[in-house]
Amino acid sequence: MYEDQVVLCGASAYTKKFYLNEDFNGLPEGVKQDLQILCVLFTEDVGGTIRLSFTEEGQLTIETDAEEGDLLYDEIGSVLKIKQFQNDKKELFEALETYYKVFFLGEEDSAPC
């Protein structure tokens, strides 16, 4: 399922770690910090893991998972939290998709100046 996706970042409640793909070190520091806060808050609130990835077409996806038998993982809370992120961080996510399409897929930026 994930072989056609490029991971942007992720975090785990199990290891208490945040991961940012080094291919995205060129992102502004503020964006990297926003991503870290978003991912860490998610794992602190609902548990499990979170991963932000890009599809082959450049669409940003958010996936969550939990270890089998993890009774502390809030599956309903994870869905609600992702919807909240998609609403609250819509501009950030759209900018990340544009960044990926321009710098990784080589598409022309069609945003109006």
Question: What tokens appear for 48 in the block?
Answer: 């499990």
How do the domains of the chain map onto residue ranges?
A: 6-99
For position 2, what pLDDT does the model report? Answer: 47
For position 4, what pLDDT does the model report? Answer: 82
pLDDT tens digit sequence for 4-31: 899 999 999 999 999 999 999 999 999 9
Q: CB-based contacts of 22: which residues, under 8 Å, 6+ apart?
A: none
Which residue type does 96 have? L
pTM of the model: 0.89
pLDDT beneath 50: ranges in the chain: 1-2
Cα separations (Å) of 53 from 37, 70, 73, 96? 16, 24, 21, 10
